Structure formats: C-alpha cells, structure tokens
Structure 1
Amino acid sequence: MEGMTKADVDKLDKGLAVRGGKALRPRDAATLILLDRSGRDVVVLMGRRHAGHAFMPGKFVFPGGRTDPADSRIPVAAPLHAKEEERLASGPGRASTARARAIALSAIRETYEEAGLLIGRKAPFATAKPDWQGFVEHGVTPSLDALRFIARAITPPNRVRRFDTRFFSAWRDDVAVELPQGGPTNELEELVWLPLAEARRADIPDITRMILEELEKRLAHDPLLRPGGAVPFFRLVRNRFVREVL
C-alpha cells in the first residue's frame, strides 16, 4: 500500500469510499491491540464489526473508537511512560499532554465497552463520567503505563468516516478484570484470539494488515515491546499513500 495513489487505495477499500462530497476532517481515535503469549505464538484479540455499520462493515478489527476529550480528566493509577507521551506529541497535529492522555484513555475505555476487558489495577475508583462506570463497579483504576504506541494512520479523504487513529498495544496480563459477558455495547461480535500470522489472513481492512505486519517486525526486534520504539505513520501526502516514522 505504501507509495500507492489515492485511486489505488480506493480500489482496495471499495466498501469505505464515498462518491464525492467535501472531505471530512479526521477525528482523533484510538485502538488497542491486546496481545497474549500462547506457547511460542503471540495471539491478538480481534472482533468482527456488525454488517450494518457504515464504517468497515463485517471486518475483523481491534477494539477502539473515537476519542472523547473529557477522558483526559479521568484519574489513573499511573500515567503514560514519558517516551510514549513524547512519541504521541510528535508528527503533524502535535498532541498536547491532555490530548495524548485522552487518546490513550479512549483506547482503554473502548476495550472495556467493546470487549469487556478492564485494563488497570484493582483499586477503588470514583468518577461521575457515565462511560467509566464499569471501572467504578468492578473496582479497577485505569492505568496508562502498560500502553505502547505502535502506529498511527489517518483515513484517506472521501470516506464515510475519517479518523486520525493511534494504535496502542498492551498485554493480557495488564487486564485487571475480564467480564465473561463481554462489554456493554454491541460494536463487536465474535471476539477471537488469533495468532498474528492467522490474523493477517482474516477478513481485515488493509491498514489493519499493515499494522499487524509492523507489529510483527517490532516484536521480532523487541519481544518485550519496551517504551520509546519507532512508530510508523501512514497517511496520504500529495495524492500518494506514504509511510513515515515518528
């Protein structure tokens, strides 16, 4: 996909393009790639989007969604690692500390809402924010120190939705509570844990496949996913889809 023109990208992602209209401004979004080691394999959590969704219908994706700026005010057990926050602040549209915090916390919130997995530490937690009441009820204080910034991608113009998405990773050991019935929303169905190689062959968006390939390379170089790793950034520049490094 790297170096492809916008027309080439439109042909690949047929279901996502729209016919004309003013290009939407991308909105902040965050995704969490939750990993687990199963024997020699690293497996990843994915879920299928409902067929009726306007954006990526029927595709397997990671939990994630739009960032709520109010998430920046949610108390946490530990902040983002300084190197991760520095990476989030780099590149076009530099993220302030508050914006970076909101983006990271939205990945944790969406993982709870869509998959019923609460990332953080078992400890009393209080907030009046409705979207975080699951953490209050289950006694989990969200924590950001486990998150690693893996990749960034901006949806090309002329799509039903446009997002400036930051992809984070965390390990299943960072999950404080797993709800057997899943999350409170119906955004994802058929949640599955797949080996990385198998996940790349699933019915996934092209950008998701590219992110998985980048993650495999990083894991090969750094199996512990230590803070401060290089972050690939995918976007359309002068009508060509390019890969940059933050």
Structure 2
Amino acid sequence: MNIPSGGQKIRDAATIILLDRTAPDEPAVLMGQRGTAAAFMPSKYVFPGGAVDEADAEVELSKPVDPLLRRLLAAEPRRDAPVSPEAIVTAALRELAEETGLLTKGTGPAPARWDHYANAGLAPNPNGLIYLFRAITPPGRTRRFDARFLLLDAESLHGDRNDFSLACDELSHLHWVPLSQARALDLPFITEVVLAEISAMIGRGGPLSQPQTVPFFDNQDCEPRFLQIT
C-alpha cells in the first residue's frame, strides 16, 4: 500500500481518450459527465476511465503491448510495488467497454467476465494506444489516483462509435465534443491540460504516433514536481 506524506492511499488508474478525426469541421473527443453524488469530481465532464483492478494484471490481451508504450508506462514507478504496463492498458480498455460500450478490434477469446467482448466475439486489442500524459492527484483530496492518459484513434473501434446502448450509468451525456468546444465544459484542471496536449499533437500534423517523452505532474508528496518521462 502506498501512503505518501499527504496521508491518503494513491490508486493506479487509467483514462482513455477517444479521438475522432473524421468528425465534421474539426476533431472531437468522447466525454461524459460524472454524477452529482460522485465522491470524486462530481458533475465534472471527463474521459472514460477508472482505477486499475487486481484482476487487470491477469488479463490476456489479443496482442502484446507496443514496446515503446510499455517502456514509457513502466518508467518512473512509485515507491510502492509498481503496476505493470499491461494492467494499465487492460484497465483502460475495460473501463472503455464498461462506461461507453465501445470495443477495440481484437481476435481471440474474450477475458473472463468481459461480457461486452464475449458477446461480440472479440478480444481487447491494445494496438494504436498512445501514452499522452500522467498525473498524480495532489494531497488533501478525497481520493487520489496515479492516472495515465491513453489516446486512441476512433478508427480502432469495432462497430458504431456513436452507439452507447451498452454503456453503464457511471457517465451521463456521453457524446463527441469538438476540441474547440470541450474547454467550455465543466472540467477538472488536469483534463484541460490533457486537451491542450491533444491539440498540440494534432497541430503538428502527420499520423498519430507515440511521443518519445510523456509529461508527468508528480504530486505524490507535498512538494510537487513536473518532469518528462523518457
């Protein structure tokens, strides 16, 4: 268990940002609103995501995690037992399926209790995931997470990207938000920072690819630091 100087346990978490570059006028990202009674970030608009579960470390993905992505996810481990890159990626794909009903295009057997994938005859596929940002919730918050933000082009999805009929009720108002309009929503600060990173990546042009470095807001102790993961 990791209990830093701020007193609260930090949980590993994964967030997945779906980017639709075929949307009319400009690229859009998929966002939903947390409930007003949520213990963490109530009423805020966020990307799909959540805590890494112990079972995520045992899931077999349809393909291996890209070596560069794996190396970057494994870098800068916290002082407690580090979480595996595969568990982070698995958590992101699991949360995407649970909170939106959207799946990636993988072949092979579905993991146990992954009903969305089993019913579709698919397996979770990590291909195309881009590690974009990492942030640890500062001390003093009701809950604290070590969140890794992973970007995925919507072209990697199976089926209709606008069909949220299989989504759970954790996020409401799921919809594709044009990047220029996203910052007008009620957002957590770190989501605004991530949106700026996405805009900068798109602005550089060319195909989406894994950067060689990843920005990291490290707030695990009372003295914050900002660094680039390499």
- Give the TM-score category using the shorter length: 0.7 to 0.9
Are the equivalent residues in 2 in contact too, given 1:117–1:182 (CA < 8 A)?
A: no
- TM-superposed deviation, 1:244: 1.3
Tell me the equivalent position of 2:214.
Answer: 231
- What does the per-residue CA deviation read over 1:109-158, in whole Å, with 9 as the maximum and x for residues that have no partner? 1011001101232x352433x2x121111111111121110000000111
Tell me the equivalent position of 1:218.
Answer: 201
Task: Structure 1 unaligned segments of length 5 or more: list them.
Answer: 1-21
- TM-superposed deviation, 1:235: 2.3
Pick from 95, 99, 110 the counterpart of residue 84 of structure 2.
99
Matches for 1:148-159 after TM superposition, within 5 Å: 148-159=130-141
Tell me the equivalent position of 1:72.
Answer: 57
Tell me the equivalent position of 1:111.
Answer: 96
- TM-superposed deviation, 1:31: 0.3
Q: Secondary structure at the match of 1:134?
A: helix
Tell me the equivalent position of 1:200.
Answer: 183
RMSD: 2.4
Letter in 1 for 2:14: A
Q: TM-score, normalised by structure 1?
A: 0.82
Task: Structure 2 unaligned segments of length 5 or more: list them.
Answer: 1-5
Pick from 48, 57, 63 the counterpart of residue 42 of structure 2.
57
Q: Show structure 1 runs of 4+ deviating over 6 A.
A: 94-98
Q: Secondary structure at the match of 1:79?
A: coil
Tell me the equivalent position of 1:190.
Answer: 173
Separation of aligned partners in 2, 1:45 and 1:82? 27
Deviates more, 1:190-199 or 1:235-244: 235-244
Separation of aligned partners in 1, 2:111 and 2:175? 31
Tell me the equivalent position of 1:174.
Answer: 156
Q: TM-score, normalised by structure 2?
A: 0.88
Residues 159 and 183 of structure 1, relative CA distance in 2, 3 Å threshold: farther
Separation of aligned partners in 1, 2:183 and 2:199? 10
Separation of aligned partners in 2, 1:52 and 1:218? 34
Q: Are 1:135 and 2:117 counterparts? A: yes
Separation of aligned partners in 1, 2:109 and 2:184? 40
Percent identity for Structure 1 against Structure 2 = 36
- What does the per-residue CA deviation read over 1:171-202, in whole Å, with 9 as the maximum and x for residues that have no partner? 11111144834344211000011111211221
Separation of aligned partners in 2, 1:97 and 1:236? 17
Q: Secondary structure at the match of 2:50?
A: strand
Separation of aligned partners in 1, 2:197 and 2:141? 24
Pick from 145, 166, 169 the counterpart of residue 163 of structure 1.
145
Letter in 2 for 1:198: Q
Number of equivalences: 223
Residues 240 and 135 of structure 1, relative CA distance in 2, 3 Å threshold: same
Separation of aligned partners in 1, 2:187 and 2:153? 21
Tell me the equivalent position of 1:26.
Answer: 10
